[in-house]
Structure 1
Amino acid sequence: METNAARRAGVDALAAAVASLAGGGWLAFASMPDAAQGSLAVAAGVAIAAIGVVSVLRRNPRITTTADRITLTRAVLAGYCATLTVPILVGGQPPGWLLVTIGIIAFLLDGVDGRVARLTGHVSPDGARMDMEIDAALLLVLSCAAAPQLGWWTLAIGLMRYVFVAASRVRPALGGELRPSPARRFIGAAQAFALLLALAPAVPSSAGRPVVAIALVLLTLSFIRDIANLERHHRQHVNNPGGLVNP
């Protein structure tokens, strides 16, 4: 029999899906008279929000916490950003304040869900994984939105984590666990901040481009450091399989 917690989780997931479809539909068709582009924009937003919805529905046991609901809200907001990015990529429209404002809210909420999880004692691997996936999706969306204005090199910010995950399928050493790092969290937050700053209509490309470039350099160095640490840990484990490996 389905528990109350499982039913509540199902309701939370359904609410996020409905909010994504309804809000994304309004945003798309209010700004794009072309039905094909509007449908593509809605689909892009729903696809991003689905990351959070599917994460909840796949849990065993199925449960959501207050922190999870905040993360689901971020998933919906990131989906709205994706919807508003489609006319930038397809229709050549410039980024607007609506995209930036929604992106800022999603960015700020990123500092809320983790804190709420710790304060309420509901920290979980599922919640942390969903949070990380939404972070990555938002960065990919923002880097896509910035690409026509700043250059397609900005996609490196959004794609880097996905390339790293793909590489870990080929090189198992890269699938190891990394210790939490304040520097890594700061650099990750700096990517979203730099992209949102550059997307602001009041900021010229000549000012936004170097800010995003610096953020990309920091991100690249962070990934290089993490790869080096993972490879070193892997070599220690191979050379000393029965001993302790210092992180």
Structure 2
Amino acid sequence: MTELRTAPHPAVADLSVAAVAYLGAVVVIAGPSLPDGGGAFLAVGAGAAVLAGAGANLLGRAVPSCTPADRVTLARAVLVACAAALTMSGLLTGGPSGLPLLAVGTAAFALDAVDGPVARRTGTASADGARLDTSTDAALTLVLACAVAGTLGLWVLGSGLLYYVFQAAGRFRPSLRAPLPPSAARKVIGALQPAALLFAMVPGVPGAAATAAVAAALALLVLSFGRDVVVLERGRPGAG
């Protein structure tokens, strides 16, 4: 009797490479700053959680796939994971994450401009890929917000938490899970969040300038989410 064998998911190999790359990078980049004992596991685990989120997207797709653009986004997720480990190390040790976090965060932010063109050029743009891209953006913003909050205050966390609050609200309000129309303004405002947070981390930037940049970006983000909520609520069945 011939046994039926299920083919491995196309993303398994890519996720394995990403996990190995993360572990190697975190040793090189964050190794000197990792806290002792269980703190090191917490720091490495923070980055692993970022990769787990990307893996859940890839492995949970109705149509198994891992496109060239997905691989670019996965590489960015590895950088975000390293940034998360650096940030957690800084929070646990009470020391600044410093230039390594700024360099890794900037690389992850810059790579965001690559996956979209790759998807369009290879004809592999999809809703699943867009969700992976958006969730990776959100993870980067949250990581950077956690790093900057120690300097500017806890209010900075709003930049990183609004996306997750919106996602959580969608579990209780089905209208918030509906697709949104494309918006260039939404994309620009989303990109402003990590840009402003990275600016605030640059050595020598005055505290007032850093606060103003992050506060302005956060205000725009609140307006953007508010507008999206209004659009989705007006579009729900039975809305007046």
TM-score (norm 2): 0.92
Structure-1 residue corresponding to 2:107? 105
User: Sequence identity, in percent?
Assistant: 48
Tell me the secondary structure at the aligned position of residue 46 of structure 1: helix
| 1:166-195 Cα shifts (integer Å, max 9, x gaps) | 112222222221101000000000011000
Structure-2 residue corresponding to 1:136? 138
Alignment of 1:75-154 (within 5 A): 75-154=77-156
Summarize the Cα distance change of 1:239–1:165 in structure 2 as closer, same or farther, 3 Å threshold. Answer: closer
| 1:56-114 Cα shifts (integer Å, max 9, x gaps) | 23334422111111000011000000011012222121231111111111111111101
Separation of aligned partners in 2, 1:33 and 1:178: 43
Whether the aligned pair in 2 keeps the contact of 1:28 and 1:41 (CA below 8 Å) is: no
Separation of aligned partners in 2, 1:18 and 1:120: 27
Opposite residue 230 of structure 1, the aligned amino acid is L
Opposite residue 235 of structure 2, the aligned amino acid is H
The more displaced of 21-30 and 182-191 is 21-30
Separation of aligned partners in 1, 2:23 and 2:62: 26
Structure-2 residue corresponding to 1:244? none
Opposite residue 50 of structure 2, the aligned amino acid is I
Alignment of 1:206-221 (within 5 A): 206-221=208-223
Structure-2 residue corresponding to 1:238? 238
Separation of aligned partners in 2, 1:232 and 1:60: 29
Separation of aligned partners in 2, 1:106 and 1:122: 21
Tell me the secondary structure at the aligned position of residue 97 of structure 2: coil
| 1:104-131 Cα shifts (integer Å, max 9, x gaps) | 1111111110111011100122211111
Q: Which runs of 5+ in 1 are unaligned?
A: 241-247
Separation of aligned partners in 2, 1:55 and 1:188: 20
Whether the aligned pair in 1 keeps the contact of 2:34 and 2:43 (CA below 8 Å) is: no
Separation of aligned partners in 2, 1:125 and 1:68: 12
Separation of aligned partners in 2, 1:102 and 1:239: 45
TM-score (norm 1): 0.89
Opposite residue 27 of structure 2, the aligned amino acid is G
Opposite residue 32 of structure 1, the aligned amino acid is L
Separation of aligned partners in 2, 1:61 and 1:232: 31
Tell me the secondary structure at the aligned position of residue 238 of structure 1: coil
Summarize the Cα distance change of 1:34–1:165 in structure 2 as closer, same or farther, 3 Å threshold. Answer: same
RMSD: 1.7
Structure-2 residue corresponding to 1:45? 47
Query: Any runs of at least 4 consecutive aligned residues in structure 1 with deviations exceeding 4 A, and if so which?
Result: none
Report the Cα offset of residue 239 of structure 1.
5.5
Whether the aligned pair in 2 keeps the contact of 1:17 and 1:50 (CA below 8 Å) is: no
Whether the aligned pair in 1 keeps the contact of 2:43 and 2:88 (CA below 8 Å) is: yes
Structure-1 residue corresponding to 2:168? 166
Question: Which among 68, 79, 82 is matched to residue 66 of structure 1?
Answer: 68
Whether the aligned pair in 2 keeps the contact of 1:51 and 1:75 (CA below 8 Å) is: no
Separation of aligned partners in 2, 1:231 and 1:159: 21
Report the Cα offset of residue 20 of structure 1.
1.5
Summarize the Cα distance change of 1:154–1:10 in structure 2 as closer, same or farther, 3 Å threshold. Answer: same
The more displaced of 7-16 and 66-75 is 7-16
Tell me the secondary structure at the aligned position of residue 30 of structure 2: helix
Report the Cα offset of residue 51 of structure 1.
1.5
Structure-2 residue corresponding to 1:245? none
Separation of aligned partners in 1, 2:128 and 2:48: 21
Q: Which runs of 5+ in 2 are unaligned?
A: none
